[in-house]
Chains A and B, each alone.
Chain A
Amino acid sequence: MKSLKAQHHRLSSSEEEIQILESDMPGFSGDRFASELENSNLFPLKPTQIEVLQINLGKMCNQVCKHCHVDAGPDRKEIMTRETMKECLEVIRNHEINTIDLTGGAPEMNPDFRWFVEQVRAIDSEITLIVRCNLTIILANPKYHDLPEFFKNNKIEVASSLPYFTAMKTDSQRGDGVFDKSIKALKLLNVQGYGVEGSGLILNLVYNPSGAFMPAAQSGLEAEFKKRLSDNFGITFNSLFTITNLPISRFLEYLLRSNNYEAYMEKLIESYNPVAAAGVMCRNTISVGWDGYLYDCDFNQMLELKVSSEDSQHIRDWNQQSLTSREIIVKNHCFGCTAGAGSSCGGTTA
């Protein structure tokens, strides 16, 4: 399967996506999310403080997942240069960021990935350093086989998507054979101590629904995942994060193609939760694109909606004061983060 970009699909254009999200639909208007925030006394949405720097090391990936909001895949060549990484390191060195969250694509495919991780660790041996590892990359090529050991040596926290504890549902979303490879990779991580009680090495799994429906309650599903993965494969992990699919990029394409868009948006809107809205991740996170531009979150990054602070839209121009006092850009896709128990890269928020 090719990326939307390689297919020259109309939804590879962020303008087109935004136009769809802002179109009035029966029952709601294009600026409905802003109205909901206003009703919750949260508009304009402002940051609390900047604690997390989520850095997209590139859109290249060895997988082509059907729901991917990045539209990542082997045909995407955009990756962060070492020069931009150095600019990120300057910000990490000079500001009180407590979590670095590396994502992609498959971040490990960036040739400077290991260099960057080691540089971050050299600056701060205690900072929380998360890698969003798709698991199969560990087995994709011999040069990646030692990733679990590299992760361990650099005290990396691993967060990995696994949509379900069976092959059918996992492969239907992430591609044929992904489940079996993911299980093998999880076992390799367990061997290093990841997800093993008392090791201090954190392995968290990420669940998102494989279709046009809402995620299950996090705690109940975590217990089910733990039992099934332990009973069937002898695998252990720390926490399960449940994430709602946001209606952008490939998931938006799926919703439109399957005639599920309107019903899905209605469900997200009906499930709007002001408590989840107050806890959205964009309030304490800055997302850095592969080219160094700054965004309120990974989703706004994919919609090419740069932060509103005009003097600080690139990592090289980082201005803590401007960024902390900026207004966060919201549109109707944001309903995905505020529905039900809320959704973020760290799971539920309410």
Chain B
Amino acid sequence: MKTYYNPEDLKKFGKIGEFQKPLADKFFDYYGEVFAEGALTAREKSLIALAVAHAIQCPYCIDAYTTDTMEKGCDEEQMMEAVHVAAAIRGGASLVHATQMMNKVKEISM
């Protein structure tokens, strides 16, 4: 079955430089630095990436960072809590706009 997302395409990510090398090189250098141990551990960064992957609903990123978090020693409970953080922020982002709705209601109501 032909689909827009093919798991095999994840392996080709490193080849995006084929069409524009300088920018790809800059991106991958940056990417590597971002995920290195720093003020945050590589493990913490991987859990953040897993949560963001769910927030932006990127199937490639979800596959990649599910494996990566497990390879960083995280367990299912920690991974699901990270996804709940993404869900809470996404849900909260909708709900916080309710204040705009409430403002408008009050503005046009007697």
- Report whether B75 and A224 are in contact in the complex, using a CB–CB cutoff of 8 Å: no
Mask for B41-71, Cβ within 8 A of A = 1, else 0? Answer: 1110000000000000000000000010011
- Report whether A214 and B71 are in contact in the complex, using a CB–CB cutoff of 8 Å: yes
- Report whether A213 and B67 are in contact in the complex, using a CB–CB cutoff of 8 Å: yes
State whether the Cβ of B21 lies closer than 8 Å to any Cβ in chain A. Answer: no
Other-chain residue from B73, B75, B76, B77 in contact with A220 (beta carbon distance below 8 A): B73
Instruction: Tell me the complex Cα distance, A262–B25, Å.
Output: 29
- Report whether B72 and A216 are in contact in the complex, using a CB–CB cutoff of 8 Å: yes
> Nearest Cβ in chain B — how far from A110, in angstroms?
34
Q: How many A-B residue pairs have CB under 8 A?
A: 32
Other-chain residue from A166, A211, A224 in contact with B77 (beta carbon distance below 8 A): A166
Tell whether A211 pairs with B70 under 8 Å between CB atoms, given A220-B41, A220-B43. Answer: yes
Tell me whether chain B's interface is mostly helix, strand or loop, or mixed.
Answer: helix
- Report whether A216 and B71 are in contact in the complex, using a CB–CB cutoff of 8 Å: yes
State whether the Cβ of A256 lies closer than 8 Å to any Cβ in chain B. Answer: no
> Which residues on the B side are within 8 Å of A213 (C-beta)?
67, 70-71
Task: Using CB atoms, name the residue of chain B closest to A242.
Answer: B73
Instruction: Tell me the complex Cα distance, A215–B70, Å.
Output: 8
Task: Using CB atoms, name the residue of chain A closest to B67.
Answer: A213
> Nearest Cβ in chain B — how far from A339, in angstroms?
11
Instruction: Tell me the complex Cα distance, A216–B70, Å.
Output: 8
Instruction: Tell me the complex Cα distance, A60–B76, Å.
Output: 32
> Which residues on the A side are within 8 Å of B71 (C-beta)?
209, 213-216
6 residue pairs A–B, Cβ–Cβ below 8 Å: A209-B71, A211-B70, A214-B71, A215-B71, A220-B42, A224-B73
Binding site for B on A (CB under 8 A): 164, 166, 168-169, 207, 209, 211, 213-217, 220-221, 224
